[in-house]
Every structure is written in C-alpha cells, then in structure tokens.
Amino acid sequence: MVKCEYTLVQLSDPHFGEMGYQSEKIQTAIEEVNDLSPNLVVTTGDLTGDGLTRQFELAHSALKQLKPKVLTIMGNHDARNLGYVCFEKYFGKRIVKYEDNNIFMLGVDSSQPDIDTGHIGRTFQGHIHRTLVNAPKDKIKIFALHHHLVPVPRSGREQDILVDAGDILKMLVEDGVQVILCGHRHVSWTWEIERMIIIHAGTMGSQRTRGMPTQSYNIIKIVDDTLSITLRLIGEKDIKLRTFKLK
C-alpha cells in the first residue's frame, strides 16, 4: 500500500422534500464539509423522500454547493415513483467508478423500484466482481452502496437488508475490498468482518435520527495503513468512533 494521507466524508440519507426534513442542518453540513476540504465526498443514497422531480431538484441544488469531488449513490427512497430516471438526469450513472492516486472506489445502485429491500442479483454481481478483480492492487479498495449488508445495532427491528447480502459479502472479501460504505439505517456504526471495515452513516437530513441527538455524517481519515472514523454531529461536535488497521 502506498503512503497516503486522505480524508473522505460520508454523507447519507438527507431525504430532501420529506415531511420534516432538516434543510438548515443539511446546509450547515455542506458548509462544514467545505471547511474540512476532504479529498472526496461520498453520498450513500436516499437523497430524496419519494423520488419526485422537485425533490431531486432540491437535492441537486444543495449538493452542488459542495466544493470537493462528490460521488452520489442511489437509495431505495430515490427509486420510488420511477425516481431512477430523475436520478440519472441530475446525478448521472447509477454505477460509479472512481480512482485517484490513493483509492479505487466502486459505488452501485442496490435499490429496486418501489421496494425498500435491497438487491444486487447474480448478473450485476458478475460485473462488480470483474471490476474489483481488475482494480489496481496498490490502492485502497472501497465499495459503496445504500443498503446495509449486516444488521446494525440500535436501528430497531431488522428489515430491508440486502437480500443477497451473504453472497455479496463473500465476493467482496474474496475480491480484496478493504472498506464498505453503507447508509439506509440512519445509524452510524462500524463492523470489521474478514479484514473488511463496514462503515454505516447516520442521516444528514431526516428527522428520524434513531436515538441520536441530531443529524450527522462520518469523517473518515486514512493515514498510511490506519483508518479512523469520526462522527460529526452537525453544527455541534465530533465524536471519535474507532480506528482500524487496513490489511
């Protein structure tokens, strides 16, 4: 692994246009992220409440204020009401491949139209596998999707997990993925499974913060082979979560 010092911000689940969504918190988060000047921002889905055109317009107008490079993943709320058409209009392809001097990232759409449960499928899995196998060996390999792959504590009754999560986890382990970014459950949490660090983000805009005092996002810093995660409570304070060794 090459020597590096890298900052990635993970935003998730702003839910633009949803009843009660926190537009002021989202704006504060955007200003905070611009002040942080990270190398990359990844938004892991549910930009909208219902996949409606006006909601996508709100999301696009707000997120284009971000100064760093931004990669955007689609979520299950975005897939409602034929929302994938609007997503592609405002945010581009639903499969995102990105590479710089330090990382290789593949982001995929795990949603199904009008269904909250996530699904990858065997055909799509084959494409993901080929892409990851051919990724550079000397870069940190990151996989991003909206749905969670393992249950998340403090998120209530388990539901809507990726239905083929077992097969996808096995593939990602075998393909050498080091970091997975997920949203969906509105809870910031981390797991380490088979040398992979799975990072879940809270919500940056929904009022459904699941026990958290306010909306939040993740600040992920990589210094050489060490990855640390900090939870930013928007407009308030930072909470240091965990530190891992990349393997």
- Give the pLDDT confidence of 110-143 residue by residue, as tens digits: 999 999 999 999 999 999 999 999 999 999 999 9
Residue 2 is predicted with a pLDDT of 56
- 183: tokens are 């949203």
pLDDT digits (tens, 9 = 90+) for 200-245: 999 999 999 998 899 999 999 999 999 999 999 999 999 999 999 9
pTM attached to this predicted model = 0.96
Query: Structural domain boundaries of the chain?
Result: 5-245
User: CATH homologous superfamily for 5-245?
Assistant: Metallo-dependent phosphatases (3.60.21.10)
